[in-house]
Amino acid sequence: GAVVSQHPSRVICKSGTSVKIECRSLDFQATTMFWYRQFPKQSLMLMATSNEGSKATYEQGVEKDKFLINHASLTLSTLTVTSAHPEDSSFYICSARKGVSTDTQYFGPGTRLTVL
Amino acid sequence: GEDVEQSLFLSVREGDSSVINCTYTDSSSTYLYWYKQEPGAGLQLLTYIFSNMDMKQDQRLTVLLNKKDKHLSLRIADTQTGDSAIYFCAEPRSSASKIIFGSGTRLSIRP
């Protein structure tokens, strides 16, 4: 199988603080990981593509200084929401791709972020 | 997801068939996906179809692909309460190394 985990599954923080979300591929090496944000009306928005050992590629309109992504190893990528505000409250989902040429992405269970 | 379109909601009676439709734009996609998202969870790859196929059947699931019209559908036979979820159609864009998702169709089952 291809299992992807996320931690934490749910986090509540105060406005102005930073929150780190981890995405791990448990039984495979992921050269590429993706971070998505899911809005209340269910649509998924790709935020950035994270490649191991290099800088993340952000989608248009996503602030790279606000959503810091680090992909330090082949099994771990982190998303840090800096200086969080209530409008950052959302469901964040990561996915991991096994190989360079294959397109199949395996998704984590998501992290519910609530900023008070 | 503006390039992959789906209707947002579908309601069916338990035991009936559900048909979820999707239109996509990139004719060079080598395959297309259907993902399922249960409440409060991540996405699960449900099935996929290669672009050189017209149909793929897997137990209660049937995927139909019309390349000419760029239309993809997912049929769930004998729909059960456990099928309640959001179903996403997705198209890989190899040129951009990413997947484009539709808006998702929320399937609800009524008794």
Integer Cα distance of A83 and A107 in angstroms? 26
Q: What is the pLDDT averaged over residues B93-103?
A: 78
pLDDT band at B95 (very low <50, low <70, confident <90, very high): low
Q: Does A62 touch chain B (CB under 8 A)?
A: no
CB contact under 8 A, B92 and A49: no
Are B106 and A42 in contact (CB < 8 Å)?
yes
Q: Say if the Cβ atoms of B40 and A112 lie within 8 Å.
A: yes
Are the beta carbons of B99 and A110 separated by less than 8 Å?
Answer: no
Q: What is the mean pLDDT of each run of 10 residues along chain A (116 residues)?
A: 90 97 93 89 85 88 94 92 96 86 80 96
d(CA B39, CA B66): 30
DSSP letters, A41-94, are: T--EEEEEEEETTSPPEEPTT--TTTEEEEEEETTEEEEEE-S--GGG-EEEEE
A108 CA: distance to closest CA in chain B (Å): 6
Q: How far apart are CA A22 and CA B54, in angstroms?
A: 39
Q: Which residue of A has its CA nearest to B85?
A: A42
Q: How many residues does chain A have?
A: 116
Please tell me the distance from the alpha carbon of residue A59 to that of residue A63, in angstroms, as a whole number.
9
Give the pLDDT confidence of B25-66 residue by residue, as tens digits: 877 778 899 999 998 888 898 999 998 999 999 999 999 999
Distance from CA of A83 to the nearest CA of B (A): 25
